[in-house]
Amino acid sequence: MKIKAVIFDLDGVLLETDRYHYLAWKRVLEGYGKEFSEEDNELIKGVARSKSLEILLEMKGLRMSEVEKISVLRKKNNWYLEYAMLIDEEDVLPGVREFLELLKSYGLKTGIASTSDNSYVILELTGLMKYFDVLIDGYRVKEPKPNPEVYLVGASELKVKPEECAVFEDSRAGVLAAKRAGMKVIAVSDKPIAEADKRIDSLEGLDISILNFEA
Ligand code: BG6
Ligand code: MG
């Protein structure tokens, strides 16, 4: 099956905004006297905000009332935006724009599938929005990754079949979501993600052959 569309996760694939999510959660946990390592962070990478909090409470043995959870989630997002608002075009990761231009020169469709409610603002700040035919973000789906919904909606809006899509993802939750949608997945990660079809360190220097997959 020939690839007709390429769908990208945003945080950690096109930008290092995954770092800002990590720093904001770290600040939350430090407020409760808990440490939060990069290793801990792997378990919530790509996971929706409220689900991430549930995982962290369990991981750190903390309890919170529903009202406190709402307040913590708001605080986490404000801190995230405090860091993220400083980004601009220069923060787009190496090779990203070149690869997006290459895809367009081959007539491939492109989309973003992100769990983040902040995707639009990040794409605007970095000038990346113009490269994408569709944006499916946290506001557009009921079930976050690892549910396949965000990728299935992406394929449907791009008017291609899921099996005609290749996906770039940095988190295990995201890789699982795209595989469950029936897509080919390239992990952008320095650690292997078993369910992915391929793995790369970054988008720098990629050529179109990255979209060749055995049947
Ligand atoms: C994903 C990030 O893209 O979006 C997660 O990898 C984050 O870390 C999730 O929790 C939700 O994002 P937001 O911006 O709506 O809190
Ligand atoms: Mg990601």
Residues with CB under 5 A from ligand 2 (ion): 9, 11-12, 46, 170-171
Nearby residues of 171 by Cβ (< 8 Å), 6 or more positions away = 9, 12, 18, 45, 46, 47, 145, 193
Q: Name the residues annotated as catalytic.
A: 9, 11
Provide CB contacts within 8 A for 177, sequence distance 6+: 113, 145, 146, 147, 148, 149, 150, 151, 169
| Identity of the amino acid at 126 | T
pLDDT of residue 31: 97
Residue 206 carries which side chain, given as an amino acid letter? L
20 or 214, higher pLDDT: 20
Question: What residue's CA is closest to ligand 1, atom 2?
Answer: 46
Q: Which ligand 1 atom sits nearest the alpha carbon of residue 12?
A: 6
Distances (CA, A) of 174 to 58, 124, 168: 21, 23, 9
Q: Is the pLDDT of residue 149 over 70?
A: yes
Backbone region of residue 47 per phi and psi (left: phi > 0; alpha: psi in -120 to 50; beta: other values) = beta
| Helix%, strand%, coil% for the chain, nearest 5 | 45, 15, 40
Atom of ligand 1 nearest to the CA of 11: 3
Pocket of ligand 1 (CB under 6 A): 10-11, 18, 21, 45-49, 52, 77, 114-118, 138, 171
> Who contacts 153 (Cβ-Cβ below 8 Å, separation ≥6)?
113, 136, 140, 141
Tell me which ligand sits closest to the C-alpha of residue 174.
2
Identify the pLDDT of residue 215: 66
Site to substitute for ligand 1 among 115, 123, 150, 176, most atoms within 8 A of C-beta: 115
pTM to 2 decimals?
0.96
**pLDDT at position 214 over 90:** no
Q: What percent of the chain has pLDDT over 90?
A: 99
Render pLDDT for 25-76 as a digit per residue (tens, 0 to 9).
999 999 999 999 999 999 999 999 999 999 999 999 999 999 999 999 999 9
Residue nearest to atom 13 of ligand 1 (CA): 116
Does 214 or 85 have the greater pLDDT score?
85
Contact 96, 206 (CB under 8 A): no
DSSP 53-81: HHHHHHHHT----HHHHHHHHHHHHHHHH
Question: In this predicted structure, what is the pLDDT of residue 113?
Answer: 98
- Three-class secondary structure assignment of 80-121: HHHHHCCCCHHHCCCCHHHHHHHHHHCCCEEEEECCCCCHHH
Counting ligand 1 atoms within 8 A of each CB, the residue from 16, 79, 116 with the most, and so the one to mutate, is: 116
